[in-house]
Structure 1
Amino acid sequence: MASTSATVDLPAPPERVWQLIGGFGSLPDWLPYIPSSTLAEGGRVRRLENPDGDVIVERLVAFDDAARSYSYAILQAPFPVTDYLSTLKVRDVPGRADASRVVWSGTFTPAGVSAGEAVDLFQSIYADGLAALRETLAA
């Protein structure tokens, strides 16, 4: 099993950041790579499409509004991994009520690629996503 994570500190209170990213169907609100998200099964499954038309289906496996965190598993995706589990968290920055720290992490088993290639892929997805989040909040 391989894992990776990315972290960004943002100049916005954690509650504001969580309002933007805490909904399981909210990826299109802040992640340009995902322009479409359709919820199913009472909001526990999301069907995403990227600009190339690739479909990604994910299941919400844990949600904690008070802790500003959710975890999800990939059910279907064009990624070379299995057993994918990811968590998105919004944390306080100690001593800074006007700032937040977002951590996006995942574990997975590479399938047909090396562990390094799989880690690089998701490291890039997480880092690019958090950079897009920073830009959305700055707009």
Structure 2
Amino acid sequence: MASASAVIEISASAEQVWQLVGGFNSLPDWLPMIVKSEAGEGGRLRHLQTQDGTVIVERLEVFDNAGKTYSYSITEGPFPVTDYLATVLVEAHGTGARVTWSGRFTPAGISEAEAQSLFTGVYQGGLDALRGNFPD
């Protein structure tokens, strides 16, 4: 099983950051590549649409509001991996917040290094976009 992660520090409180990212269906609010998110199954499923029309379906596996973290799996999407499980975690860090987005997965048809590079890029790009919502 392969893994990837990205970490970013944001000069806003962990509570402010969690308020934006903590809603499982809130990706369009902070991630420009996701233009639409429709909740299903009482909020445990999200049907995402990207700017180019790609559909990704993700399932909320674990949600901990007090711990400011959630984990989700991908049930449908274009990614060349199986057994995908990712976690978003927001922590207080000094006067700001540290956000970690990480995942583990089994590459399917690509090398472990290619899969790690793909998701490291997704996570880092997403966290960079998130930080853009909190100007210094």
Instruction: Extract unaligned runs of 5+ from structure 1.
Output: none
Amino acid at match of 1:103: T
1:34 corresponds to: 34
1:52 corresponds to: 52
Cα distance per residue 1:102-133 (max 9 Å; x no partner)? 00000000000000000000000000000000
Give 1:16 deviation, angstroms.
0.3
User: Over aligned residues, Cα RMSD in angstroms?
Assistant: 0.9
Q: TM-score, normalised by structure 2?
A: 0.98
Q: Percent identity?
A: 55
Amino acid at match of 1:136: N
Cα distance per residue 1:80-106 (max 9 Å; x no partner)? 00000000000011xx2x300000000
Aligned pairs, how many? 136
- Which residue, out of 118, 125, 131, partners 2:115? 118
Give 1:63 deviation, angstroms.
0.1
Equivalent-residue separation in structure 1 for 2:68 and 2:39 (angstroms):
20
Instruction: Extract unaligned runs of 5+ from structure 2.
Output: none
Equivalent-residue separation in structure 1 for 2:52 and 2:33 (angstroms):
9
- Give structure 1 regions of 4+ aligned residues with deviation exceeding 3 angstroms: none
2:79 maps to 1:63? no
Equivalent-residue separation in structure 1 for 2:133 and 2:19 (angstroms):
13
